[in-house]
Amino acid sequence: MGIIETKDFGIRYGEKVILSAANIAIPKGRFFAILGENGAGKTSFVKALIGQNVQTVGTLSRQAKRIGFVPQFRDITRDYPLRISEFVGLNYNQGWRLWWQADEKQAIQAALARMDLLGIANQRLGLASGGQKQRAFVAQALVQKPDLLILDESTASLDHEHKVQLLQTVKQLQKEEDLTILFITHELKLISQFADGYLLFENGGVNQGDQIALQSLTMQMTHGHEEDEVHDV
Amino acid sequence: MFSYDFMQNAFMAGTVVSIVAGIVGTFVVARNYAFLTHSLSEIGFAGAAFGLFAGWPALLGMMVATSGASLAIGALESGYTKRDNVTSAISALAIGLGILFLALGHTSTTAATGILFGSVLGISHQDLWLLLALAILVIVVLLSNFRALRQLAFDEAGMFLQTRRQKAVRYIFLVMIALSVSISSQLVGSLLIFVLVTLPAASAKYYVTTTVKLMGLAIAFALFGTWVGLTIAYLTNLPTSFFIAMIEVVIYLFSVWQFKKSA
C-alpha cells in the first residue's frame, strides 16, 4: 500500500472545483515531482495532504507518521536575528522551556549535519546566502524526523549550481533515510534528472507517471525549447 | 534621591515596566507588530479618557480599550485585509473617541498630559502593586507559551500544522501586548510606548542571535534607559519621558549604524 493514496478525490472552494476524480497512489520511499501550471491545484492538494482546511470529496489516505513541509515563501530579511541552529529548532513549538533538551539538541545537530550547515550553525540566518537559507529551511523540516517531506518550489530562487546541489542533497535523503519526497516545481527539465515519478495537475485532474513517463514528458514539453528552464523560472 | 518615596516608587515601577517591555518587545519586533503596538497606545489614550469620563481609574479604561481593540484587529486581519490598514482604521476611531471623552468628561489638561506623556513621578504605592500584579500576569502567560509564541513571532510560515492551542496563542499574544502597552504607558505615557516596547528589542536584534538573549538584552537596554532617565530627570527637573526616549533612540541608531558597518 502506498504512503499516499486517493480514491475519486476532489477539492473545491465553494462552487469552484479545483480538482476532481483524482486517483493516485504514491509508493513509500519515492521522489515525486509535483507538476502543473499555477492554479492547477498543486498547492491545494498539498494543503489537503498536510491537513489544512480545504473542502474535499472522496478519500485521501496518508500513511505518513510525520510530515516535513518546506513552504514556498518566507520573510527572512537581512536583519532577521536568529542564528541558523535556533531557526532549525523552531518547530519544537510546545511547552515553555527556554532551553533545548538533550534529545532536541541532538536532533537539531543531526539535521544541521544532514544539510551541511554545522559550520555556520551560529551565524545569522538573515545574513546567509540564498542556498544556505534554503538548506536551513529543509533542515527545519527534517528536525522531527518526518517520513514524508514536501518541498514547495524550494529551488525557484537559486542559481543553477545551487539548484542542483539542493536536489542532490534531497535525493540523498530519499535514499539514505527512506524518505518519501514530494517536490513542487516548474523546472521540469531539472527535476527529471532526480525524480522517479510525477503527478501532473492539469485541466482539473491529475495524472501520475513513473520515471520513464517523466523522461518522455520532459522530452515532449521541452522539445525545441532548450531554454525552457530559464523561461519557467 | 532614594530618600523620597516617589523616587523609590518611580524606580520600582520603571524596573517592572522595563522587564515586561523587554520580553513583550522581543516578540512584537519579530512579528512586525511595531505599528500595532503604537496604535494600541493611541487606543489606550482613548480608553484612559473614557475611564476618566466614566469615573474609572485611567489604567482600567486603558486595559479594556486596548484588549478589546487588539482582539478586534486579530479577528479582522486575514488574507483579505492588510493588518496595517485594519490597525489604522481602528486607531483613527480611537483617537477620535479619546478627544470626545476628554471634552465630555471636562478632564483637566494635566490629566490629559499625564495620559499622553506619562506621570512616573506621580505613581503611588497602590499603583505599584497593581502594576506588579499585571506585570507578573503578562510574564507568566507569555513564558508559559514561550515555544509556540517564538515560532509564531519568528517563523509564522513554518507553522503549517496548528493545534487549537497554537491558534489561541495568536490571541493570547495580542491581549498580552495590550496589557503591556497599558502598563508601560504609566511610565512613558501612551505617546511614547514604542520607546520601551519596540526600541530596546529592535536594538537588541543587531547584537544577539537567540530568543532568550534577545529578551535579556532588550530588558537591559530598557532598564538602562529607565534608570538613567529617571536619575537625570531628578537632577534636572525636566520630564523623565524625554530622557528615556533620547537614550533609547540613541541606542537604537547606534546599533543600526554598527550593524550596517559590519554586515
pLDDT in tens, A37-75: 888 889 889 888 887 777 888 999 888 888 999 988 888
Per-residue pLDDT averaged across B78-99, rounded? 78
Answer yes or no: do B154 and A90 touch at CB < 8 A.
yes
Check whether A224 has a pLDDT greater than 60: no
Answer yes or no: do A83 and B210 touch at CB < 8 A.
yes
Check whether B239 has a pLDDT greater than 90: no
Residues A122 and A202 in one domain: no
Test mutation, B155, B205, B208, B212, chain A, max A CBs within 10 A: B155
Distance (Å, rounded) from C-alpha A41 to C-alpha B73? 31
Residues A157 and A233 in one domain: yes
Q: Give contacts of A95 with chain B, Cβ < 8 Å.
A: 146-147
Residues A156 and A231 in one domain: yes
* Helix, strand or coil, per DSSP, at residue A158: coil
Buried b (16+ CB within 10 A) or exposed e, A19-42: bbebebebeeebbbbbbbeeebbb
CATH of the domain at A153: 3.40.50.300
Q: Give whole-number Cα distances, A132 to A120, A125, A187, B159, in Å.
A: 9, 8, 20, 21
Residues A151 and A224 in one domain: yes
Q: Which of B145, B147, B214 sits opposite A92 (nearest CB)?
A: B147
Task: Note the pLDDT of residue B83.
Answer: 72
Rg, C-alpha atoms of chain B:
18
Distance (Å, rounded) from C-alpha B79 to C-alpha A51? 19
Q: Which of A52, A71, A97 sits opposite B158 (nearest CB)?
A: A71
Q: Give contacts of B30 with chain A, Cβ < 8 Å.
A: 81
Task: Count structural domains, chain A.
Answer: 2
Check whether A226 has a pLDDT greater than 60: no
Residues A153 and A139 in one domain: no
Closest residue in B to A89 (Cα–Cα): B151
Answer yes or no: do B155 and A87 touch at CB < 8 A.
yes
In order, the DSSP letters of A115-134 are TT-GGGTTSBGGGS-HHHHH
Task: Tell me which amino acid residue A160 is.
Answer: H
Per-residue pLDDT averaged across A117-143, rounded? 95
Q: Which of A69, A81, A93 sits opposite B147 (nearest CB)?
A: A93
Q: Which of A51, A92, A127 sits opposite B161 (nearest CB)?
A: A51
Q: Compute the half-sphere exposure of residue A156: CA atoms within 13 Å on the CB side of its CA.
A: 15
Structural domain span for residue A165: 25-55+147-233
Q: Angle CA(B213)–CA(B218)–CA(B222) in degrees, nearest 5?
A: 150
Answer yes or no: do A67 and B161 touch at CB < 8 A.
yes
**Which one-letter DSSP state was computed for residue B192?**
G
Per-residue pLDDT band for B163 (boundaries 50, 70, 90) equals low
Per-residue pLDDT averaged across B249-256, rounded? 96
Residues A164 and A226 in one domain: yes
Looking at A144, A173, A188, the residue that finishes a domain is A144
Check whether B122 has a pLDDT greater than 80: no
Annotation: CATH topology of B5-262: ABC transporter involved in vitamin B12 uptake, BtuC (1.10.3470)
Is A67 among the domain residues? Answer: no
Q: Give contacts of B160 with chain A, Cβ < 8 Å.
A: 50, 52, 69, 71
Residues A134 and A179 in one domain: no
Burial of residue A231 (number of CB atoms within 10 Å: 0-12, 13-18, 19+): exposed
Task: Note the pLDDT of residue B93.
Answer: 87
Answer yes or no: do A69 and B210 touch at CB < 8 A.
no
Residues A152 and A189 in one domain: yes
Identify the contact set of chain B against chain A, taking CB-CB distances under 8 A: 30, 143-148, 150-151, 154-155, 157-161, 166, 204-206, 208-212, 214, 259, 263
Of the listed ranges A202-206, B27-31, B191-195, B251-255, the one predicted with least confidence: B191-195
Distance (Å, rounded) from C-alpha A215 to C-alpha B21? 58
Residues A113 and A195 in one domain: no
Test mutation, A92, A93, A134, chain B, max B CBs within 10 A: A93
Q: Which of B146, B158, B214 sits opposite A81 (nearest CB)?
A: B214
Check whether A233 has a pLDDT greater than 70: no
* CA distance, residue B25 to nearest chain A CA (Å): 14
Per-residue pLDDT band for B54 (boundaries 50, 70, 90) equals confident
Q: Give contacts of B166 with chain A, Cβ < 8 Å.
A: 93
Closest residue in B to A66 (Cα–Cα): B161
Answer yes or no: do B210 and A99 touch at CB < 8 A.
no
Beta strands at A31-36 and A25-26: parallel, antiparallel or unpaired: unpaired
Report which of B186, B252, B250, B219 is spatially closest to residue B41, judged by C-alpha positions. B186
Closest residue in A to B207 (Cα–Cα): A81
The residue assigned the cell 518615596 is B5
Closest residue in B to A85 (Cα–Cα): B210
Q: Give contacts of A98 with chain B, Cβ < 8 Å.
A: 143, 146, 211-212
Residues A37 and A152 in one domain: yes
Q: Are A10 and A45 in contact (CB under 8 A)?
A: no
Residues A230 and A159 in one domain: yes
Is A18 among the domain residues? Answer: no
Burial of residue A15 (number of CB atoms within 10 Å: 0-12, 13-18, 19+): exposed
How many CB atoms within 10 Å of residue A6? 25
Looking at A124, A144, A164, the residue that finishes a domain is A144
Answer yes or no: do A73 and B146 touch at CB < 8 A.
no
Phi, psi of A66 (to 5 degrees): -145, 140
Helix or strand run (H / E) with residue A55: strand A55-62
Looking at A123, A144, A165, the residue that finishes a domain is A144
Q: Give contacts of A44 with chain B, Cβ < 8 Å.
A: none
Per-residue pLDDT averaged across A123-134, rounded? 94
Phi, psi of A38 (to 5 degrees): -60, 135
Query: Which is higher by pLDDT, B111 or A72?
Result: A72
Q: Are B238 and B246 in contact (CB under 8 A)?
A: no
Task: Note the pLDDT of residue B86.
Answer: 79
Check whether B80 has a pLDDT greater than 70: no
Residues A151 and A230 in one domain: yes
pLDDT by residue (tens digit) across A17-33?
888 888 999 999 999 99
